């Protein structure tokens, strides 16, 4: 945590407070999404979600949409400028690393698109929805951050 405090010291960003003071809050947002299945599985192999499970979990991650033929979810973000977008991406990187799950990231100036899928499982798993919920918890509540496709 001290490394984060030093890294973000003096940076004016809506993301730093969530990461430095309450990184646990962002991660716990993703933990609220729980499994709706009782099947036993090897802990290293994420379980692929069924279509009805995907639809249920989508309700918990506003503005994320299914893409890639149902094998991924995507959300697009619009920020004021490049610096704000890059600050957000830095926060996403830290959340992703802590969750050991990494999105596909597309960035062009003030626009960012994140796409989540679990490659090991060949589609969507709880890992994707947990990280999406964590990402949603750090997005500033600005009207400009409502872009979603």
pLDDT confidence of residue 37: 45
Tell me whether residue 39 is in a domain. Answer: no
Tell me whether residue 94 is in a domain. Answer: yes
> What is each CA distance from 83 to 12, 15, 31, 114, in whole angstroms?
10, 12, 29, 17
Give the number of domains in the chain: 1
Phi-psi region of 65 (alpha: psi -120 to 50; beta: other; left: phi over 0): beta
Residues above pLDDT 90, as percent of the chain = 62
pLDDT confidence of residue 145: 57
Tell me whether residue 78 is in a domain. Answer: yes
pLDDT confidence of residue 22: 46
pLDDT confidence of residue 98: 96
Looking at every residue in the chain, the average pLDDT score rounds to 81
Tell me whether residue 40 is in a domain. Answer: no
Determine the average pLDDT of the residues in 98-119: 97
- List the Cα angle 31/136/60 in 5-degree steps: 60
pLDDT confidence of residue 21: 46
Tell me whether residue 10 is in a domain. Answer: yes
Query: Between 101 and 1, whose confidence is greater?
Result: 101
**Looking at residue 18, which CATH number applies to its domain?**
3.30.1360.20
pLDDT tens-digit map of 14-58: 555 555 444 455 555 666 665 544 444 445 778 999 999 999 999
Tell me whether residue 70 is in a domain. Answer: yes
Tell me whether residue 41 is in a domain. Answer: no
Its domain, for residue 95, covers 2-34+46-146
pLDDT tens-digit map of 56-66: 999 999 999 99
The residue with tokens 């192999």 is 45
Q: 147: which residues sit within 8 A by CB, 6+ positions away?
A: 76, 77, 78, 111
Q: Do the beta carbons of residue 138 and residue 144 sit within 8 Å?
A: no
Indicate the pTM of the whole model: 0.72
Determine the average pLDDT of the residues in 95-119: 97
Residues above pLDDT 70, as percent of the chain = 65
């Amino acid at each position: 945590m001290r490394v984060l405090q030093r890294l973000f010291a003096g940076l004016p960003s809506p993301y730093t407070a969530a990461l430095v003071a309450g990184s646990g809050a962002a991660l716990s947002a993703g933990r609220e999404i729980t499994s709706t299945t009782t099947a036993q599985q090897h802990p290293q192999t994420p379980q692929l979600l069924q279509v009805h499970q995907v639809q249920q979990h989508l309700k918990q991650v506003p503005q994320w949409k299914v893409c890639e033929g149902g094998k991924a979810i995507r959300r697009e973000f619009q920020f004021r400028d490049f610096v704000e977008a890059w600050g957000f991406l830095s926060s996403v990187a830290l959340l992703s690393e802590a969750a050991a799950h990494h999105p596909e990231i597309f960035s062009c100036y003030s626009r960012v698109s994140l796409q989540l899928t679990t490659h090991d499982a060949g589609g969507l798993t709880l890992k994707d929805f947990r990280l999406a919920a964590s990402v949603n918890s750090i997005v500033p509540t600005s009207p400009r951050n409502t872009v979603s496709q």
